[in-house]
């Protein structure tokens, strides 16, 4: 022990207590008191049962930075309790100015429940430099980006290592109070921190929490990870806390950036109706990352996902298996990128039949090292069935348009040639040509306005005959024109030639037949009859009350159209009758089946 051996604890006796009010407990006389007070080393008279200070000399007060009277009742260092006679131990004392001193304590024999303890300071060192082993641990923590801290409830200050101070934006050696640090913590995190610490202290467990902290040095908000544990006193009360802090701002920003990217990816795949999946090759297990995958395959989460073996055996269309395997093999032998299109079997809703859907799959194989085996496939799946149907319908519409334009041009060419050959003058040519072109245009207008690309037979008749009717064209009304038949929609391939035929019949009736005088009448009847493979349209045109009729001496354009165009383009059976009482025509034409792909509503 440093100092005068005469005042060693071994020579101090606390056998009789001075009864004077100002005497230190355990000091028998003035000499002992003088030796105690004047000792150049720190001395404390402590209660042997709990180690609390009963008296302290000025040297100890100066060493600890506390007035002697303020030491009464306190415990020396981090560990209280009784000590054996002659025991030497080390402890830490936190001064009021925020510095830390390492103490060596040596206990004297116990006399009347008291003992004298000599206290001297070890070599001064920065906070937390306790011994070589502790110093190595301190350096290791600092190298790992961890800062140490300790808190004493006596003065409410937090002692920080240099690394901890730098993390919190404070100068080295700073010893802020907890109240100061608390103001820099985000309000949303402060309640969570308080609840976490209180729960950990109550259960004597360590705690860890991450919070937002605004650094005093630059005013920037950082994410801090704080870990700590409570140090109980001899009586079980909280004597202090120690722990570490770490700046995890970069990690938190990376985590948030990853979360934001995942959210953007989910939004994009949701909008694009893409399913996200992982397939672990060796385990042959699939993970479906979003709800769209379950929708595409017509499954529910409780049904479980589909392994690749099951996918090949029961889901892929038999005709597409070879092509899909070839796509997977090509991806494995090249850059690992998979692009494949196949039809899959999807279960319908309750009671519905299984349906085939077309999917497009894209992904990339990940390997265990540059030359390793593929470990998993990460990719997306899109149901392109509707898109494929739309593409096929568009292609069909384009072919239909080309066919219609070709037929229209051929019809116009025939109109020009035949009208020119039968016209007796420019005026007659113009009149006949314009009338036929207008009829053709009207038929096309009716077709383009209808979503099914069809034309109503009644509409075609009414458009041509309305100028000659003297009232309603319903049966039994006694009008000049009578239309009698069910609703029939003519597909585009026969609507144009039949529309042209109606125009020619109306024009001939107006020039030479029943509509050329005021007494003539035209009655048109039609019906749909069953056929061997498809329904047939029976169409009858009957004129009466007009001039006497005689067979034509030469075949004009109208006659050729009725005979050739209807026969060739409509595959109709046409019969004409030039009876004196009135011209008659009967046509029996098969009705083409409507192509569902031409219906724009089919895709809705």
Tokens read off for 531: 């056929």
Rounded CA gap, 148 and 591, in Å?
Answer: 92
Residues 496-528: pLDDT tens digits? Answer: 788 878 888 888 888 888 988 888 999 999 999
> Which letter does DSSP use for residue 303 in this model?
G
pLDDT class of 571 with cuts at 50, 70, 90: confident
CA separation for the pair 178, 241 (Å, rounded)? 12
Residue 342 pLDDT: 92
The larger pLDDT score, comparing residue 15 to residue 553, is at 553
For 58-79, how does the pLDDT look when each residue is reduced to its tens digit (9 = 90+)? 888 888 888 888 888 888 764 4
Can you give the pLDDT at residue 334?
85
Residue 88 has pLDDT above 80, yes or no: no
CB 115 within 8 A of CB 109: yes
Q: Is 291's pLDDT higher than 80? A: yes
What is the pLDDT averaged over residues 576-601?
78
H or E element, residue 295: helix 291-297
Average pLDDT (568-577) is 86
Domain ranges within the chain, ordered by starting residue: 5-121, 132-247, 254-383, 389-596
Specify the range with the lowest mean pLDDT, choosing from 39-48, 281-290, 486-495, 555-564: 555-564
Q: Band the pLDDT of 603: cuts 50, 70, 90.
A: very low
Who has greater pLDDT, 103 or 194? 194
Report CA torsion sign: 123, 128, 130, 135. negative
* Contact between residue 72 and residue 44 where contact means Cβ atoms under 8 Å apart: no
pLDDT in tens, 462-493: 888 888 887 788 888 888 899 999 999 888 77
Query: Is-contact 346 298, C-beta < 8 A?
Result: yes
5-121 and 254-383 share one fold? yes
Are 487 and 456 within 8 A, CB to CB?
yes
CA distance 42 to 47: 16
Given 3.20.20.80, 3.30.1490.20, 3.10.20.30, 3.30.450.20, which CATH number is that of 5-121? 3.30.450.20
Residues 6+ apart with CB under 8 A from 530: 536
Pick the CATH number of 389-596 from 2.60.130.10, 3.40.1360.10, 3.40.50.1580, 3.30.565.10: 3.30.565.10
Distances (CA, A) of 223 to 168, 181, 214: 10, 14, 9
Interior CA angle at 490 toward 387 and 543, to 5°?
170
Nearest to 238 by CA among 246, 225, 229, 248: 229
pLDDT at 172: 81
β-strand partners of 106 = 88, 118
More confident residue, 57 or 27: 57
pLDDT of residue 24: 44
254-383: in CATH 3.30.450.20: yes
Superfamily classification of domain 132-247:
PAS domain (3.30.450.20)
Q: Give me the torsion for CA of 136, 139, 143, 146, rounded to 10°.
A: 110
- Residue predicted with more confidence, 45 or 354: 45
pLDDT band at 136 (very low <50, low <70, confident <90, very high): low
User: Where do we find the tokens 């003065």?
Assistant: 155
**pLDDT score at 257:** 81
> Per residue in 137-174, pLDDT tens?
556 666 667 888 888 887 788 888 888 888 899 988 78
Query: Which helix (H) or strand (E) element contains residue 253?
Result: helix 249-271
The full 3-state SS of 123-190, as one line of letters, equals: CCCCCCCCCHHHHHHHHHHHHCCEEEEEECCCCCEEEECHHHHHHCCCCCCCCCEHHHHHHCECHHHH
pLDDT band at 540 (very low <50, low <70, confident <90, very high): very high
Lowest mean pLDDT among 21-25, 100-104, 374-378, 401-405: 21-25
Residue 602: partners with Cβ closer than 8 Å, 6 or more residues away: 389, 393, 596
One DSSP character per residue, 420-471 reads HHH-SSHHHHHHHHHHHHHHHHHHHHHHHHSTTSEEEHHHHHHHHHGGG-SS
pLDDT of residue 5: 37
- Give the position of tokens 């009207």: 442
Residues in the chain: 604
Structure tokens at 250: 């970069």
Question: Would you state the pLDDT for residue 81?
Answer: 44
Q: HSE of 483 in the Cβ direction (CA atoms, 13 Å)? A: 19
302-351 pLDDT, tens digit each: 888 988 889 988 899 999 999 999 998 898 888 889 999 999 988 765 54
Dist CA 448 CA 428 (whole Å): 30
Query: Which tops the pLDDT comparison, 2 or 508?
Result: 508
- What integer pLDDT is reported at residue 579 of this predicted model? 92
Mean per-residue pLDDT for 13-29? 41
Separation CA 150–CA 127 (nearest Å): 10
Q: How far apart are CA 177 and CA 584, in angstroms?
A: 114
Question: b/e map of 268-305 (b: 16 or more CB within 10 Å)?
Answer: ebeeeebbbbbbebeeeebebbbebbeebbbbeeeeeb
DSSP secondary structure code for residue 99 in this structure: -
Q: Give pLDDT, residue 132.
A: 54
β-strands 481-484, 521-529: how paired?
parallel
CA distance 401 to 395: 10
pLDDT at 271 over 50: yes
Q: How would you class 309 by CB atoms within 10 Å of its CB: exposed for 0-12, middle for 13-18, buried for 19 or more?
A: exposed
Cα–Cα dist 390/383, whole Å: 13
On whether the CB atoms of residues 391 and 597 are closer than 8 A, the answer is no
Q: Please, are residues 488 and 537 in contact by the beta-carbon 8 Å criterion? A: yes
pLDDT in tens, 192-209: 999 999 898 888 889 999
> Over the Cα atoms of the chain, what is R_g?
53
pTM: 0.40
């Amino acid at each position: 022990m440093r100092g005068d051996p005469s005042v060693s604890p071994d020579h101090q006796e606390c056998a009789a207590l001075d009864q004077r009010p100002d005497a230190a407990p355990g000091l028998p006389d003035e000499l002992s008191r003088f030796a105690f007070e004047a000792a150049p080393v720190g001395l404390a008279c402590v209660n042997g049962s709990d180690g609390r200070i009963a008296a302290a000399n000025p040297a100890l007060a100066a060493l600890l930075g506390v007035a002697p009277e303020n030491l009464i009742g306190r415990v020396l260092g981090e560990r209280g309790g009784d000590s054996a006679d002659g025991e030497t131990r080390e402890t830490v004392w936190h001064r009021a100015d925020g510095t830390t001193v390492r103490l060596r304590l040596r206990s004297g024999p116990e006399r009347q429940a008291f003992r004298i303890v000599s206290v001297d300071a070890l070599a001064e060192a920065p906070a937390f430099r306790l011994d070589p082993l502790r110093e190595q641990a301190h350096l290791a923590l600092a190298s790992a980006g961890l800062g140490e801290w300790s808190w004493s409830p006596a003065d409410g200050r937090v002692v920080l290592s240099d690394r901890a101070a730098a993390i919190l934006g404070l100068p080295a050696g700073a010893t802020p109070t907890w109240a100061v640090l608390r103001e820099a913590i985000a309000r949303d995190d402060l309640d969570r921190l308080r609840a976490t610490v209180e729960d950990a202290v109550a259960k004597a467990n360590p705690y860890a929490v991450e919070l937002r902290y605004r650094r005093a040095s630059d005013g920037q908000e950082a994410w801090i990870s704080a870990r700590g544990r409570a140090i109980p006193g001899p009586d079980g009360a909280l004597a202090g806390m120690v722990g570490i802090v770490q700046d995890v701002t970069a990690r938190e920003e990376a985590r948030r950036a990853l979360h934001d990217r995942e959210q953007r990816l989910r939004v994009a795949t949701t909008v694009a109706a893409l399913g996200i999946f992982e397939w672990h090759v060796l385990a042959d297990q699939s993970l479906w990352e979003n709800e769209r995958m379950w929708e595409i395959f017509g499954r529910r989460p409780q049904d479980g996902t589909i392994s690749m073996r099951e996918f090949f055996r029961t889901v892929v269309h038999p005709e597409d298996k070879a092509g899909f395997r070839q796509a997977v093999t090509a991806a494995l032998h090249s850059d690992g990128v998979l692009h494949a299109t196949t039809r899959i079997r999807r279960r319908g809703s309750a009671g519905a039949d299984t349906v085939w859907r077309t999917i497009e799959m894209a992904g990339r194989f990940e390997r265990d090292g540059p030359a390793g085996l593929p470990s998993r496939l990460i990719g997306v799946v899109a149901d392109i069935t509707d898109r494929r149907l739309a593409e096929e319908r568009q292609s069909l519409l384009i072919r239909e348009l080309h066919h219609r334009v070709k037929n229209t041009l051929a019809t116009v060419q025939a109109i020009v040639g035949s009208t020119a050959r039968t016209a007796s003058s420019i005026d007659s040519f113009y009149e006949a040509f314009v009338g036929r072109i207008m009829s053709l245009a009207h038929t096309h207008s009716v077709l383009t306005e209808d979503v099914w690309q069809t034309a109503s037979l009644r509409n075609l008749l009414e458009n041509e005959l309305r100028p000659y009717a003297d009232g309603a064209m319903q049966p039994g009304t006694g009008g000049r024109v009578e239309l009698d038949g069910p609703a029939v929609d003519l597909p585009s391939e026969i609507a144009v030639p039949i529309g042209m035929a109606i125009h020619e019949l109306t024009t001939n009736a107006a020039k030479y037949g029943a509509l050329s005088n005021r007494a003539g009448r035209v009655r048109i009847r039609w019906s749909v009859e069953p056929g061997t493979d498809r329904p047939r349209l029976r169409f009858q045109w009957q004129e009466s009350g007009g001039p006497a009729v005689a067979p034509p001496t030469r075949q004009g354009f109208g006659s050729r159209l009725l005979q050739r165009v209807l026969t060739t383009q409509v595959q109709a059976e046409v019969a004409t009758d030039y009876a004196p009482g009135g011209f008659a025509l009967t046509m029996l034409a098969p009705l083409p089946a409507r192509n569902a792909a031409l219906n724009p509503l089919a895709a809705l």
